[in-house]
């Protein structure tokens, strides 16, 4: 008996991800889920250098600034609730001193610039089409940093606006790295604070806009994480307690589908080797002085050495 409708994904034919690939990820909290998986399995990746970003305009702005190596100055940050913030970045970069946040922002600019030029794969996860415009400067922000909502105008970005922004993102990336694969996906996290209808409108705008700029012949692709969650994993047992975020089972399942579609056969075999080592490193012995544990540790060190000989970038410590 078939109890699910399955989304069939064909393996990517060109530029698959392997352990020589360099990956940068931007976007919503679902990027963090995939980025954490890539980090656990020791791929070369940079995850959200400016923190979690939810809408395309925020991502476009930061990619533009990174490519142009725009330097952040005193005028680009502000003090609120005893911390310094930037409207361009997530609160993860906020700091108690102006010097600290400016240092973090400018380091992120340099890091992002370098990674955009060197990456083989750029993964962008879009979370929402809703944006907030700071009335005082008439500028769309990436994060409101708990400033009173009356100081912002909430706007639903139109499909045309989104297409323009996404096309700009692709053009900017291609201007410095024409060989990179750009992979878009939509976060399956539902933004119910916006409202049920409003969340669906937002996701619909994202879906419609992405599919106007996806073109595999130009190395611009789409991965259906949202569709997998909404269709294959439509049961609430695949959600966390808040009934909004995918739980670990769902994240593991979507990661598995991502691997089958995007990670090379050799890469998948290496993942298995890395997982064996990771489980070994997390093992807690009953007696760390026993001969049995010494043999286990020596065998584990041997596996690590063999893997690092083949992939010097893999580091477990």
Whether the pTM exceeds 0.85: the reply is yes
pLDDT in tens, 239-280: 999 999 999 999 999 999 999 999 999 999 999 999 999 999
> Domain for residue 134, yes or no?
yes
pLDDT at 283: 84
Q: Specify the number of domains making up the chain.
A: 1
> Domain for residue 10, yes or no?
no
| Alpha carbon distance 315, 317 (integer Å) | 6
pLDDT-derived band at 290 (thresholds 50, 70, 90) equals confident
> Domain for residue 16, yes or no?
no
Residue position matching structure tokens 């990771």: 278
Which two structure tokens, joined as six digits, stand for 93?
């970069």
| Alpha carbon distance 268, 125 (integer Å) | 23
| Alpha carbon distance 218, 214 (integer Å) | 8
Which SS3 state, helix, strand or coil, does residue 1 take? Answer: coil
Q: How far is CA 181 from the centre of its chain?
A: 15
> Domain for residue 316, yes or no?
no
In this structure, what CATH number is given to the domain that contains residue 112? 3.40.50.1110
> Domain for residue 8, yes or no?
no
> Domain for residue 17, yes or no?
no
| Alpha carbon distance 127, 263 (integer Å) | 24
| Structural domain span for residue 184 | 22-264
Angle at 23 between CA 19 and CA 26, to 5 degrees: 155
pLDDT at 39: 96
pLDDT-derived band at 207 (thresholds 50, 70, 90) equals very high
């Amino acid at each position: 008996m078939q109890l699910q409708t399955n989304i069939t994904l064909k393996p990517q034919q060109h530029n698959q991800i392997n352990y020589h690939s360099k990956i940068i990820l931007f976007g919503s909290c679902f990027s963090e889920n995939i980025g954490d998986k890539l980090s656990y399995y020791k791929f070369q990746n940079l995850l959200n250098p400016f923190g979690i970003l939810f809408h395309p305009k925020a991502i476009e702005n930061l990619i533009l600034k990174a490519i142009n190596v725009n330097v952040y100055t005193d005028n680009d940050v502000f003090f609120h609730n005893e911390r310094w913030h930037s409207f361009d970045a997530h609160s993860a970069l906020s700091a108690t001193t102006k010097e600290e946040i400016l240092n973090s922002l400018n380091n992120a600019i340099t890091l992002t610039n370098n990674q955009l030029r060197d990456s083989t794969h750029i993964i962008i996860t879009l979370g929402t089409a809703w944006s907030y415009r700071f009335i005082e400067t008439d500028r769309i922000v990436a994060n409101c940093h708990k400033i009173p909502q009356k100081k912002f105008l909430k706007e639903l970005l139109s499909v045309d606006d989104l297409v323009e922004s996404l096309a700009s993102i692709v053009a900017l990336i291609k201007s410095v790295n024409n060989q990179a694969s750009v992979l878009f996906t939509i976060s399956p996290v539902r933004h119910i604070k916006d409202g049920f209808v409003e969340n669906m409108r937002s996701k619909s705008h994202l879906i419609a806009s992405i599919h106007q700029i996806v073109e595999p012949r130009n190395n611009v692709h789409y991965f259906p994480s949202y569709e997998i969650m909404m269709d294959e994993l439509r049961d609430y047992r695949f959600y966390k307690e808040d009934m909004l975020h995918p739980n670990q089972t769902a994240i593991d399942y979507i990661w598995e589908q991502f691997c089958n579609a995007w990670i090379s056969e050799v890469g998948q075999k290496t993942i298995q080797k890395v997982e064996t080592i990771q489980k070994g490193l997390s093992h807690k012995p009953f007696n760390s002085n026993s001969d049995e544990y010494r043999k286990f540790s020596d065998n584990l060190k041997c596996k690590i050495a063999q893997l690092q000989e083949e992939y010097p970038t893999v580091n477990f410590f």
